Structure 1
Amino acid sequence: MDEWFLQAGSGARFDWGPVGAQRLAAGVACVVVVDVLSFTTSVSVAAESGTRVFPYAWRDESAAKFADEMDARLAVGRRMATPDSPWSLSPASLRSAPFAPRLVLPSPNGSSIAAAAGDSVVVAGCLRNATAVGNWLARQGYGALDRPVAVIASGERWPDGSLRPALEDLLGAGAILAALRKQGVDSLSPEAAAAAACFEATPDVMAAVTASASGRELSDGGFAGDVDIAAELDVSDVVPVLTDRAFTAAG
Structure 2
Amino acid sequence: MIRRVAGPYAQNGFSVGFDWGPVGAEVVAGDIVAVVDVLSFTTAVTVAADLGIAVYPYQWRDQSAVAYAERWSAKLAVGRSEARPGDVSLSPVTIRNSQGVNRLVLPSPNGSTIAKQLSDGGATVIAVSLRNRRAAADWVREQGPDQRVVAIAAGERWSDGSLRPAVEDLWGAGGFLSALDQDGLSPEARAAVAAYDAVADELPKLLHECAGGRELTQYGYPEDVAIAAEVDQSTSVPVLEDGTMFRST
- Quote the residue 2:230 is aligned against: 232
Note if 1:135 corresponds to 2:134. no
- Quote the residue 2:54 is aligned against: 52
Gap runs ≥5 in structure 1:
none
Offset, 1:151: 0.3
Note if 1:93 corresponds to 2:91. no
Among the aligned pairs, what percent are the same residue?
51
What amino acid is the match of 2:27?
R
- Quote the residue 1:249 is aligned against: 248
- Quote the residue 2:183 is aligned against: 186
- Which residue of 60, 68, 71 corresponds with 2:70? 68
User: What is the CA deviation profile of residues 18-73 of structure 1, one whole-angstrom value per residue up to 9, with x for unaligned ones?
Assistant: 11112223xx2111100000000000000111111000011212111111111110
- TM-score with structure 2 setting the length: 0.94
- Quote the residue 2:215 is aligned against: 217
Map 1:201-212; keep pairs closer than 5 Å: 201-202=198-199, 203-212=201-210
What amino acid is the match of 1:248?
R
- TM-score with structure 1 setting the length: 0.93
- Quote the residue 1:175 is aligned against: 175
Gap runs ≥5 in structure 2:
none
Alpha-carbon RMSD across the aligned residues, in angstroms, is 1.1
What amino acid is the match of 2:33?
V
Q: Distance in 1 between matches of 2:190 and 2:28?
A: 16
- Which residue of 185, 192, 196 corresponds with 2:193? 196
Q: Distance in 2 between matches of 1:93 and 1:72?
A: 16
Offset, 1:80: 1.1
Q: 1:61 to 1:186 in 2, by over 3 A?
A: same
User: What is the CA deviation profile of residues 82-120 of structure 1, one whole-angstrom value per residue up to 9, with x for unaligned ones?
Assistant: 24x511000011101113111100000001111221210
Q: Distance in 1 between matches of 2:129 and 2:166?
A: 13
State the secondary structure of the residue aligned to 2:28: helix
C-alpha contact (below 8 Å) 1:56/1:106 kept by paired residues? yes
TM superposition outliers: structure 1 runs of 4+ over 3 Å: none
What amino acid is the match of 2:184?
S
- Quote the residue 1:43 is aligned against: 45
State the secondary structure of the residue aligned to 2:105: strand
State the secondary structure of the residue aligned to 2:67: helix
Q: Distance in 2 between matches of 1:71 and 1:61?
A: 15
User: What is the CA deviation profile of residues 105-152 of structure 1, one whole-angstrom value per residue up to 9, with x for unaligned ones?
Assistant: 0000001111221210000000000101111111112xx4x4201100
- Which residue of 107, 120, 128 corresponds with 2:123? 120
Q: Distance in 2 between matches of 1:56 and 1:174?
A: 26
State the secondary structure of the residue aligned to 1:13: strand
Offset, 1:2: 2.8
